Amino acid sequence: MAWSKTKQQLESFICDGLKGRVEYRSTAYKYAADKSGKCYITVDKKEVFAMSEAKSVVTWYKLEQEIKKDSSIQVEVTEDEIQAIRKELGDTIPTDRLEVIAKNRRQSEVAKQIMTAQTALSKSDFYQAANTFLSSSIDNCVNGNDIILNILALIDRRVGKKRLRDLRSRIQMKHPIVQYFYKLRCEVEGI
Mean pLDDT of 165-179: 86
- Predicted pLDDT of residue 186: 93
For the whole model, what pTM was predicted?
0.65
Alpha-helical (H) ranges within 70-174 are 79-89, 95-117, 123-135, 138-143, 147-154, 161-171
On the CB side of 13, how many CA atoms lie within 13 Å of its CA? 20
Nearest alpha carbon to residue 174 among 148, 152, 147: 147
Does residue 1 carry a pLDDT above 90? no
- Predicted pLDDT of residue 32: 57
Indicate the range of 62-76, 84-98, 145-159 predicted with least confidence.
Answer: 62-76
What are the phi and psi torsion angles at 29 (to 5°)?
-105, 105
Indicate the range of 93-97, 142-146, 181-185 predicted with least confidence.
Answer: 93-97
- Predicted pLDDT of residue 27: 82
Tell me the pLDDT tens digit for each residue of 19-28. 999 999 888 7
Chain centroid to Cα 25, Å, comes to: 15
Q: Hey, which residues does 43 pair with through a beta bridge?
A: 22, 46
Tell me the pLDDT tens digit for each residue of 30-76. 665 555 677 888 999 888 887 775 555 566 677 677 767 776 666 77
Does residue 117 carry a pLDDT above 70? no
